[in-house]
Amino acid sequence: MKNIILIGMPGCGKSTAGVLLAKTLGYSFFDTDLLVQQQAGKKLFEIIRDDGMDAFLQLENDTVAALEDTDETVIATGGSVVLGEKAMAHLSRMGQVVYLQLPLSQIEQRISNIRTRGIAMEPGEGLCDVYARRVPLYERYADIVVPAASLSLEETVEEIVRRVDVK
């Protein structure tokens, strides 16, 4: 399977870069956040608000772990997918995991809709808390780390293409 799985913080560009990467490689593309929303029949923030964060994380873990095997697909994941061991074990078997790495300051600049974005965070937590908890997991699961802080969207995609094994 020649899939590319993008992980990273909300706002790091997984979906945006993923679409361009898929076009560049001639791959299919899908976003696991959209699959979770379809499964629940509501938006991410509504799942978290109505059902709680634990229920959201369980739904995300189960939904991603049940993904059918694909080939030549770019998969953009939700930022919290790394909190689900079943999901990450399945994704790791499906292809190369690429961590789009950005510093917290850039994440904070990019996210303006924190309340309606559907970010899995406990009440009273800020992005800095989420970042601190998730970065070690992104690093643990990544086959490839792409430091994207000083790269444009096109340069980020070029760097991924250069580093992944698409042969």
Per-residue pLDDT tens digits for 43-72: 999 999 999 999 999 999 999 999 998 999
Position 12, amino acid: C
* Whole-number percent of the chain with pLDDT over 90: 82
Both tokens of residue 84?
Answer: 């689900």
Are 6 and 153 spatial neighbours (Cβ–Cβ below 8 Å)?
no
Report, as an integer, the average pLDDT of 105-129: 82
Which range among 78-82, 114-118, 122-126 shows the weakest confidence by mean pLDDT?
114-118
CA of residue 32 relative to chain centroid, distance: 8
Pick the CATH number of 3-163 from 3.30.1490.20, 3.40.50.2300, 3.40.50.300, 3.40.30.10: 3.40.50.300
Q: Inform me whether the pLDDT recorded for 149 exceeds 70.
A: yes
